[in-house]
Amino acid sequence: MSVGVAAAIKAAILALTDESTRKKIGWVLVAILSPIIVIVALICSIFSATSQQNVSTVELCFHGGTISSEVAPEYRQYVLEMRESFSTLDSMVEEINSLLEDGESLDANRVKAIFYVLYFGAQQPDEVGLQSFVDCFVTYTEGIRTVIDTDQEGNEVEAEETYQIPHLVDDLSQIYERIGEATGVTATPSHQANADNIYNQLGDYTAQQTAANTVRDGLEKLLGRDRVVYSRGCTVRGGDRSEIAAAVSAARGTDAAVVVIGGSSARDFDTEFLQTGAAKAAHDEVRDMECGEGFDRATLALLGEQEELLRRIKATGTPLIVVCIAGRPLDLRRASEQADALLMAWYPGARGGDAVAETILGRNNPAGRLPITIPRAEGQIPVYYNKKRPANHDYTDLTAAPLYPFGYGLSYSTFEYGSLEARQSGDNVLEVSCRIRNTSDREGDEVVQLYISDMVASTVRPPRQLGGFRRIRLAPGEQRQVSFTLGDEALALIDPQGRRVVEKGDFVIAVGSSSQDIRLQTTVTLE
């Protein structure tokens, strides 16, 4: 992403931090079912065998419209039954909301989404069954209130009566458990994959979590639940495109689309693993896991229909913010081209949803830097910044430059580098300093990176090697002197005899914001 794009996104994002502005805008959150985002989907699984036949089924259920003659008769009936149930559910949710206190509100879409995934294609419950289903989303406590009554003589008198006070149940696992107890319908892992699975966000070899939040959780916390619309989109693996149309429909006309892509080394604890940690189940039985012990892949491309989802969301004209959750470098060239902002979240952990949302909305000023190089294409591999000489040359069909180099990262702040000095202070010791100034109107962190080039050596050396880095925080307009001491560890090499030595001579000292974004450079002679 260019600095220009980053500045544009910054302006859009920072605007959202204003309370009055946030209340006027709408967001759509389109998730890739790793499940990277742990929340109930407006769009849930359609039976894979008929997925192509049901591209529009979800929209028909949730948004109405004319049912095409091309829709199979059994699905026409399913849609009509689902619409009828949805209408009843809406009425029941409205009734509950009329009783809720403290400004709480039960999300009808959430209720219908879970109902859809459990009952589409199955026998619909009667009205009593529907009420039991809705009641699984709330708990009731008994309250006492004063009412005006009429006594036997017709006089108005005050009296106390008990009544039921509903309270929302936010824990999805508890909701599913209550649904199973009340209706006898059990939500299987495949049902819950899009609704209640945090493990993709945690990564491999992670203990079971009792509390965690997702990207949607984080955005809803900051923006309000009513400002975030969710649609699943597609899976990490497999060719199911049945829900892309619904995701595109949800993205159209919103202020921003946050699309979470990537891979998964998720362990959902329903999968059986060997003592080595390798998945014991067949690959097609482990939901969306494409990375980790026992899982290898032949390509770095985004799997499944993720690129198709990105392409179609981009075509809506809605500003596109892409969040990549992964444990390895992926081919993000097309994602980078389509994204107005791209956030590499890796496996952000149990509280990663808050961190990602705060960064997207400008509450957190990012300063992370890539610890790896992200290639433009698989054919560039191996690609790394400190490859030994000779230098890389361009391919006939592609530049040799990576998509994102080692040390790369953007911030909502900008920084100026100056006054680079380098001198020898002792035997095999160099002292380096420079001045860093925050040139923006926002406090932020800069990661100052120092790279070394040994100009003449007895063995082949990389043209540039990281010698040290400093992360500093600066207020707007503040400047600070940053110093490095380079000794044997930074300057030494392994000579042809296998000895670790520091050879005298000229060293180029380069300081910058990444391995390719060098701001200052000087040569110092070690004597």
Give pLDDT, residue 449: 98
Q: Are 196 and 33 in contact (CB under 8 A)?
A: no
Residue 295 banded pLDDT, cuts 50, 70, 90: confident
* Fold of domain 415-526: Immunoglobulin-like (2.60.40)
**Cβ neighbours for 170, distance < 8 A, ≥ 6 positions apart:** none
Mean pLDDT of the chain: 79
Cis peptide, bond prior to residue 371, ω within 30 of zero: no
Q: Give the orientation angle of helix 127-135 with respect to helix 73-99, to 10 degrees.
A: 50
CB atoms within 10 A of CB 125: 18
Q: Are 467 and 486 in contact (CB under 8 A)?
A: yes
**Nearest CA-CA partner of 31 in 212, 189, 317, 250:** 250
Winning range, highest mean pLDDT, from 92-106, 112-126, 165-179, 424-438: 424-438
Cis peptide, bond prior to residue 35, ω within 30 of zero: yes
3-class DSSP state for residue 6?
Answer: helix
**Cβ neighbours for 358, distance < 8 A, ≥ 6 positions apart:** 218, 222, 364
Through-space distance between the first and last CA atoms of the chain, rounded to whole angstroms: 43
CA gap 305, 237 in Å, rounded = 8
Q: Are 519 and 513 in contact (CB under 8 A)?
A: yes
Sheet with 479-486: list strands edge to edge: 415-426, 429-438, 479-486
Give pLDDT, residue 242: 74
CATH 2.60.40.10 maps onto the chain at 415-526
E-only strand ranges, 123-218? 138-150, 156-168
Cis peptide, bond prior to residue 402, ω within 30 of zero: no
**Distance between alpha carbon 386 and the CA centroid of its chain, in Å?**
30
CATH 3.40.50.1700 maps onto the chain at 1-45+193-364
Q: Does domain 1-45+193-364 have CATH number 3.40.50.1700?
A: yes
Residue-wise pLDDT for 405-454, tens only, equals 999 999 999 999 999 999 999 999 999 999 999 999 999 999 999 999 99
Q: Are 511 and 450 in contact (CB under 8 A)?
A: yes
